[in-house]
Amino acid sequence: MKLSKTRRALFAGLVLLFALPLFVAAQSGEIVLKWPCIWVGKDSKAPAIAEIVAAFNAANAGKIRVEIEPQPDYNAYEQKVRTAIMAGMAPGDIFTVKLNASTKEFYTSKLLLDFNEDLTGDWRKSFDAGAVTQSTIRGKLKTLPFETAILPIWYNGDMMKKAGVAKIPATMDELWSAMDKMKAAGMYPTSQMSGDTNAWTSMIWFSWFAVSNGGPDVWEKPFTDKAFVDAAKTIKRMFESYTTPDAIGAGAGVSGGHFLAGRTVIFSNGPWYAGRADLKATTFFPSITIAPVPPTGSYKNIIISRLQANIAAGATADKARHDAIIKFLKFLTNKPNMAKLAEVSGGMYAVNAGFVPKDNDLQKQFYDMADKGYETATDLEAALGAEATLEFTQQLSALALGKITPEQFCSLVEKKIDR
Amino acid sequence: MTKKKGANLPWIIVYMLPLALFFFAFFIFPLAFNVYTSMMKWKGGGEMTWNNFANYGKLLHDDTFLLSMKNNVIWALSQGFIQIPLATIVALILARNPRGWKLMRTIYFLPNVISTVAIAKVWTALYNPQFGVINGILNALGIDAGRNWLGDMSTALPAIILMTVIYIGYFMIIILASIMNIPKELYEAAEIDGATKIQQEFRITIPMIRGTLATAITLAMAYGMRHFETTYLMTGGGPAYSTSTMGIALYLKMDALRYGEASAAGIILILLGTLVIVAIRRALGKSDPMTEAAQ
């Protein structure tokens, strides 16, 4: 088959047209860093992250460009990270990991960059030392601590007033009594749930009970320990008498939805929830007070906290790419950017940005609580990993329905703990 | 001129090769890799270590996985022996061309073009103990209905199966098409012989669509065996694993970075599925009288 001269010229032109961008990119020497990012769309951190990335790209035009790959679904994002690592590929040049007993396994992968040699001097000093220690496993620092959280309980002050509860309960007896008053006023006292893969809001309550009963190192004890059995009895009582009828099997959306709709008085979650536009739009938003769960045991001044999101990077033999990654991460975690992120999102971070909340009273409550000098302990999911947390979640329904005893519940969870 | 035997072989290979390569890359290789990893201890990040059949042993001694296997069989049976009979009854009625049958056919088929996620979300709302329509109707009828349908271990699985088996549109269309192909003369002859409509259905229609029914039951059971999304969306396999299926168990093992066990769960699912399908084909696998008639 012979092509005419015109057709040949047209064909060559088309080939050139499509090949040109590749040629230009190859010649320009620009390093493109891919960041599959969860902080996009409606996420409270999205505007600040977009601004920071745009500023970095502008300052490094023609040399380094960070490209955000939007991943708005949290579960799908975690799945993507797991699957990519399992398949022998880094999920991106930069990505985030929820560090817990299961995901610590990622530290055995050669795909992740070890930050030990890079996190030095002032950059290291800018991070919370405890968070860096928590993120160091067997001497390796394959994720940088980024977002942290304390997980208190939240009280709807307007509803408390209507129920005749004058002050935040300081003891469990006061809490039971307050919740009885709320019930008498036709309210559901707490948002509980036993759905999703971690029974999030109820897992927070349980963690408080367990730590108060057994101390900050309670997670190292067998789950059949009295501290856990007693915690199971307390959470069972919550489900039986002080929550909504749909709590068994409910997910985080339902649990949070009840609080947002003013159907439940007490809720549990991290500081990022304070940045939600739909929460800020409620009439009761100014009345929200956060507090520790009253102690159920002998340990009294401990609060539940966790590393909510750590930043990881793909390991590379290309020094220029490695340096570009570090340059971006240093920019991302510098004081002004972290302060901006904290202000916009309502979140808390492992980088000391010197940020002090002003206008948002709820955010200030979180910072004040974190500064009160409480001892901290982690939650069940962070301490025991995905499989034990899933068993906790599934058997929590059976416990709440009275199908198993607290002792049986604890025994079942113990079987799934990988020690 | 006769062609030499095997002269077409190179062309056969050329035409088959692209699809064969795809089939190897996206089915044979993953399956073989799955078999391999099912015998490994592998948490995704680090090295795999040989684990013999320990993953299989662990799963087969795990009460929750055994419950998932049982639920899979329940799903397969309910799809094959509740959904298909329902689809057959509706197809038999519509095949008699009652008034508005085309509209009804469209209505029955409509859920098949709606996203599974949307349907699952709608039914989750319908089953809600506080605000759901189902409890609302029961309340209006004076029946005390505070039941948390999806949060009760005794009702969660039947509730999800019920919402799935009533979506009969896909199989109804297949069966209806098969009924439409039955020669009208058979019914005319039967009428002359004095057969009632019911007798005609049992003596002519059902025997004539036996092959289609066997295929429909096989397909429905295969869908049942691999059931995942609706349950995962509505209950996540809970409460207390009461609605878990092997697909969900597999997914949750991956979620917990237990890739070796997840692979073993996948292999068990394939074996159990094959076993059930072969058994049902054996039980129903008589030749199709329509095909015989055509020959």
Q: Is the pTM of this model over 0.90?
A: no
Contact B239 A394 (CB under 8 A): yes
Q: Which residues of A touch B254 (CB under 8 A)?
A: 82
Per-residue model confidence as pLDDT tens digits over A344-398: 888 889 998 888 787 658 888 998 898 888 888 999 999 998 899 999 999 999 9
**Residue B231 belongs to domain spanning:** 68-294
The CA distance from B191 to B209, in Å, is: 19
Contact B236 A197 (CB under 8 A): yes
Q: How confident is the model at residue A277 (pLDDT cuts 50, 70, 90)?
A: confident
Cα nearest neighbour of A198 on chain B: B236
Contact A246 B256 (CB under 8 A): no
Contact A108 B45 (CB under 8 A): yes
B33 within a domain of the structure (yes/no): no
Residue A105 sits at the chain B interface (C-beta within 8 Å): yes
Interface probe with B: pick from A86, A106, A404, A417, most Cβ of B within 10 Å: A86
Looking at per-residue pLDDT, the higher value among A28 and B99 belongs to B99
B35 within a domain of the structure (yes/no): no
Give the list of residues 6+ apart from residue A233 with CB closer than 8 angstroms, or none.
Answer: A406
Q: Which of B46, B236, B257 sits opposite A195 (nearest CB)?
A: B236
**To the nearest whole number, what is the mean pLDDT of chain A?**
91
pLDDT of residue B46: 72
Share of chain B above pLDDT 70, in %: 94
* Domains, chain A: 29-149+306-361 (3.40.190.10), 153-304+369-415 (3.40.190.10)
In the predicted model, what is the mean pLDDT of residues B242-255? 93
Q: Is the pLDDT of residue B34 over 80?
A: yes
Contact A387 B45 (CB under 8 A): no
Q: Which of B44, B150, B238 sits opposite A82 (nearest CB)?
A: B44
Contact A109 B47 (CB under 8 A): no
Q: Which residues of A touch B151 (CB under 8 A)?
A: 194, 246-250, 397
CA distance A105 to chain B (A): 6
Contact A249 B252 (CB under 8 A): no
Task: Show which residues on chain B lie within 8 Å of chain A, measured between beta carbons.
Answer: 43-47, 64, 128-130, 146, 148, 150-153, 156, 235-241, 252, 254-259
Q: Which residues of A touch B238 (CB under 8 A)?
A: 194-195, 249, 393-394, 397
A31, β-bridge pairs: A64
Residue A195 sits at the chain B interface (C-beta within 8 Å): yes
Structure tokens at B95: 């095949």
In the predicted model, what is the mean pLDDT of residues B207-214? 92
Q: Which residues of B touch A249 (CB under 8 A)?
A: 148, 150-151, 156, 235, 238-239
Q: Is the pLDDT of residue A3 over 60?
A: no
Contact B255 A393 (CB under 8 A): no
B79 within a domain of the structure (yes/no): yes
Q: How confident is the model at residue A268 (pLDDT cuts 50, 70, 90)?
A: very high
Contact B255 A386 (CB under 8 A): yes
Q: Is the pLDDT of residue B20 over 80?
A: yes
Contact A394 B237 (CB under 8 A): yes
Interface probe with A: pick from B255, B259, B263, most Cβ of A within 10 Å: B255
Q: Which of B151, B254, B258 sits opposite A397 (nearest CB)?
A: B151
In the predicted model, what is the mean pLDDT of residues B276-294? 70
Q: Is the pLDDT of residue B287 over 60?
A: no
Per-residue model confidence as pLDDT tens digits over B166-188: 999 999 999 999 999 999 999 99
DSSP-derived secondary structure for chain B: -PPPTTTTHHHHHHHHHHHHHHHIIIIIHHHHHHHHHTTEE--SSS--EE-TTHHHHHHHT-HHHHHHHHHHHHHHHHIIIIIHHHHHHHHHHHHT--TTHHHHHHHHHGGGGS-HHHHHHHHHHHT-TTT-HHHHHHHHTT------TTTSTTTHHHHHHHHHHT--HHHHHHHHHHHHTS-HHHHHHHHHTT--HHHHIIIIIHHHTHHHHHHHHHHHHHHHHT--HHHHHHTTT-STTTT--HHHHHHHHHHTT-HHHHHHHHHHHHHHHHHHHHHHHHHH-PPPHHHHHH-
Q: How confident is the model at residue A244 (pLDDT cuts 50, 70, 90)?
A: very high
B229 within a domain of the structure (yes/no): yes
Q: Which residues of B touch A200 (CB under 8 A)?
A: none
Name the residue among B251, B275, B209 with its Cα closest to residue B73.
B275
Share of chain A above pLDDT 90, in %: 72
Q: Which residues of A touch B130 (CB under 8 A)?
A: 244-246
Give the list of residues 6+ apart from residue A402 with CB closer than 8 angstroms, or none.
Answer: A240
Q: Which residues of A touch B148 (CB under 8 A)?
A: 245-246, 248-249
Q: How confident is the model at residue A139 (pLDDT cuts 50, 70, 90)?
A: very high
In the predicted model, what is the mean pLDDT of residues B66-70? 96
Cβ pairs A/B, distance under 8 A:
94
First to last CA, chain B: 31
To 5 degrees, how large is the angle CA A40–CA A109–CA B31?
A: 90
Per-residue model confidence as pLDDT tens digits over B114-161: 999 999 999 999 999 988 999 999 988 888 777 899 999 999 999 999
Interface probe with A: pick from B36, B148, B160, most Cβ of A within 10 Å: B148
ipTM above 0.90, yes or no: no
The CA distance from B130 to A154, in Å, is: 23
Conformation bin of residue A306: beta by default, left when phi > 0, alpha when psi is -120 to 50: beta
| Residues in chain B, total | 295
Q: Is the pLDDT of residue B262 over 70?
A: yes
Residue A244 sits at the chain B interface (C-beta within 8 Å): yes
B169 within a domain of the structure (yes/no): yes
Name the residue among A236, A264, A24 with its Cα closest to residue A153.
A264
Q: Which of A107, A109, A246 sits opposite B151 (nearest CB)?
A: A246
Contact B258 A387 (CB under 8 A): yes
Cα nearest neighbour of B251 on chain A: A79
Task: Look up tokens 């991956």; give the residue.
Answer: B254
pLDDT of residue A370: 86
Name the residue among A245, A234, A244, A239 with its Cα closest to residue A188.
A244
Q: Which residues of A touch B258 (CB under 8 A)?
A: 387
Q: Is the pLDDT of residue A76 over 70?
A: yes
Work out how many domains chain B is built from and give that number.
1
B255 within a domain of the structure (yes/no): yes
Cα nearest neighbour of B63 on chain A: A412
Q: Is the pLDDT of residue B107 over 60?
A: yes
Q: Is the pLDDT of residue B291 over 80?
A: no
Contact A246 B238 (CB under 8 A): no
Contact A249 B148 (CB under 8 A): yes
Q: Which of B152, B252, B254 sits opposite A82 (nearest CB)?
A: B254
Domain of residue B147, CATH code: 1.10.3720.10
Q: Is the pLDDT of residue A26 over 60?
A: no
B38 within a domain of the structure (yes/no): no
CA distance A163 to chain B (A): 21
Q: Is the pLDDT of residue A21 over 60?
A: no
In the predicted model, what is the mean pLDDT of residues A138-146? 94
CA distance A88 to chain B (A): 8
Contact B153 A397 (CB under 8 A): yes
B28 within a domain of the structure (yes/no): no
pLDDT of residue B121: 93
Per-residue model confidence as pLDDT tens digits over A173-214: 999 999 999 999 999 999 999 999 899 999 999 999 999 999
